Amino acid sequence: MSAPREHWGSRLGFIMAAAGSAVGLGNIWKFPYMTGENGGGAFLVIYLGCIVVFGLSLVMAELLVGRTAQRNPVAAFRHVAGSGWPAVGAMGIVTAFVILSFYVVVAGWTIAYMLFTLNGSLANPDATALDAVFTHLVADAWQPIVYAAIFTALTAAVVIGGVGSGIERASKLLMPLLLVILVALVARSVTLPGAEQGLAFFLVPDFSKVTGATFTAAIGQAFFSLSLGMGAMLTYGSYMPRERNLPADALAVVSLDTLIAVMAGVMVLPAMFAAGMTPGEGGAGTTFKVLPAVFDAMPGGTLFGFGFFLLLAVAALTSSVSLLETVVCYFVDEHRVTRTKATVISAIAVFVLSIPAALSSGLLAGMTIFGMTFFGLMDYLSSSIMLPLGGLLTAICVGWVVGPRAIDALTNEGRITASWAPLWLFILRFVAPLGIGWILMQGLIG
């Protein structure tokens, strides 16, 4: 029917690409401020609970559907579960656009900050001055749009290059580098005067702050961070050769993603307290407003700052590539358009959608829908509704429609020993549908 499906070059290549999708702005931009706004340590505990209970099982389920079908999300659900189910894949394609609309805007901010580290805009490390730099950038009428456009074009360029050559190579080199920079920043942040309070806020849970909204925020963040519930993991799984040890790879990806989120928390929250800010105060600008003061307090700070924003932009790129790849893979497989054409058209759509998101802190700040800006609405729809819903349906699909056969597929027909596999199936059948369903209800009534 078509050429044999392109496969990842090596086991490490797959892990790095999947971790490249998972690790991105979700970990470093979103996780710290979500933790700040949702009560610190208690949020961390619930977040980790969501990762262990739902995240790991669902990463395995999604990779498995992709690997089994060797197809895009829509065709993959049809292949493993029959009619009706392709709708889950189709919802994922829509979700990809919803996420990309604001993702490219935040990624654009990181490009702007690369320049700011060099041109002296961040020279005054005072909290008020740094706040002003951020506000000035996001309220501008054209800068956020231009940077978002540049980032969208970069994403499209990598996707046109194809899976193996572009994504895999970039991820293998840059992920380890990002880890090194994070270690250095964490070390500086926790030793700033006043940092202990921030560390305690992050690590010591105060469960009196927990409400239904905390659960909604935590599960949305877990799904967003793991690239779950919209077919990105499924698509990457479809490029996976069948003989791999899928559970081991899934565990590696989930661990790496969680490690980097926790490191980002330890990097940002103590620095926030050291700067005299309160944890709920920074909003979506938190990471950008807080870290320049940390760079300033380091020897070679300019270099660290530049390196950090560069690597953050690259981490964002390996994530946005997986979002766009999911869409492109669908159009190429199902509608027989060329990869280049599918990518260019999708990227133009992303750019158009990103304009209202880019202006959400400026010209369009007053235009709200359900009390949210366009940016806020896209963020809310994707993280709090679409991703958990996609995950819930994937759990039901693999748990009930594929059923016990899924265990055979997961363990390569028994060649991998996995005594925990029945527990995995139990989670997909009962725990995930009920747990995620309950949290989704909380979000909708609360």
Which residues inside 114-153 make contact with ligand PHE, applying CB under 6 A?
Answer: none
Which CB sits closer to ligand PHE, 237 or 362? 237
DSSP 3-state of 363: coil
Q: Which stretch binds ligand PHE (CB under 6 A): 16-24, 212-220, 405-413, 429-437?
A: 16-24
Q: What angle do CA 88, 406, 16 make, to 5 degrees?
A: 75
Among 13, 20, 24, 279, binds ligand PHE (CB under 6 A): 24
Of the residues 25, 64, 81, 317, which one makes contact with ligand PHE according to CB under 6 A: 25
CB 247 within 8 Å of CB 412? no
Best CA proximity match to 436, nearest among 102, 105, 58, 8: 58
Q: How far apart are CA 198 and CA 161, in angstroms?
A: 43
Among residues 71, 96, 398, 409, which one has the least CA distance to residue 239? 71
Q: Which of 14, 16, 17, 21 binds ligand PHE (CB under 6 A)?
A: 21
| Residues present in the chain in total | 446
Least distance CB 227 / ligand PHE (angstroms): 3
Shortest distance, position 185 Cβ to ligand PHE, whole Å: 18
Kindly indicate which of the ranges 66-74, 195-203, 277-285, 319-327 contains the residues binding ligand PHE, using the contact rule CB under 6 A.
319-327
Determine, following the binding rule CB under 6 A, whether residue 26 of this chain makes contact with ligand PHE: yes
> In one letter, which amino acid is 348?
I
Which residue lies nearest ligand PHE, judged by its C-beta?
A: 26
User: Site for ligand PHE (CB under 6 A): which residue of 189, 238, 322, 373?
Assistant: 322
Per CB under 6 A, 317 contacts ligand PHE: no
Q: Minimum distance from CB of 170 to ligand PHE (Å)?
A: 15
Burial class (CB in 10 A: 0-12, 13-18, 19+), 231: buried
Q: Which residue has the tokens 């961390």?
A: 44
Q: Does 354 bind ligand PHE (CB under 6 A)?
A: no
One DSSP character per residue, 13-34 reads: HHHHHHHHHHSSHIIIIIHHHH
- The least distance separating ligand PHE from the CB of residue 334, rounded to whole angstroms, comes to 20
Kindly state whether residue 27 participates in binding ligand PHE, applying the rule CB under 6 A.
yes
Q: Which residues contact 328 (CB under 8 A, 6 or more apart)?
A: 159, 339, 342, 343, 346
In the complex, minimum distance from the CB of residue 26 to ligand PHE, in angstroms, rounded to a whole number? 2
The conformation of residue 372, written as its DSSP 8-state character, comes to B
* Contact status: 239 vs ligand PHE (CB under 6 A): no
Residue 444 exposed, middle or buried by CB count within 10 Å (0-12, 13-18, 19+): exposed
State the binding string over 187-226 for ligand PHE (x if CB under 6 A, else -): -------------------------------------xx-
Three-state DSSP class for 140?
coil
Q: Hey, what amino acid is at 309? A: F
Instruction: Confirm or reject binding of residue 329 to ligand PHE (CB under 6 A).
Output: no
CB closer to ligand PHE, 21 vs 361: 21
Tokens representing 233 are 């993991």
How far is Cα 292 from Cα 130, in angstroms, rounded to an integer? Answer: 8
| Min CB(193)–ligand PHE separation in Å | 31
Q: Does 22 bind ligand PHE (CB under 6 A)?
A: yes
CB of 258 vs ligand PHE, minimal distance in Å: 11
* Of the candidate residues 63, 99, 114, 347, the single one contacting ligand PHE (CB under 6 A): 99
Give strand pairing partners of 232: none
Q: Smallest distance, Å, CB 111 to ligand PHE?
A: 16
Find the shortest distance in angstroms from Cβ 230 to ligand PHE: 6
* Number of chain positions touching ligand PHE (CB under 6 A): 15
**For ligand PHE, which stretch binds (CB under 6 A), given 181-189, 288-296, 318-326, 370-378?**
318-326
Based on CB atoms, which residue is closest to ligand PHE, 258 or 360? 258
Q: Give the footprint of ligand PHE on residues 219-238 (CB under 6 A).
A: 224-225, 227, 230, 232
Backbone φ/ψ region at 4: left (φ over 0), alpha (ψ -120 to 50), beta? beta
Rg of the chain over CA atoms, in angstroms? Answer: 21
Q: Give how far Cα 155 sits from Cα of 65, 118, 211, 319, Å.
A: 25, 24, 38, 9
* Distance between CA atoms of residues 318 and 188, nearest Å: 27
323 belongs to the binding site for ligand PHE (CB under 6 A): yes
Binding positions for ligand PHE, rule: CB under 6 A: 21-22, 24-27, 99, 224-225, 227, 230, 232, 319, 322-323
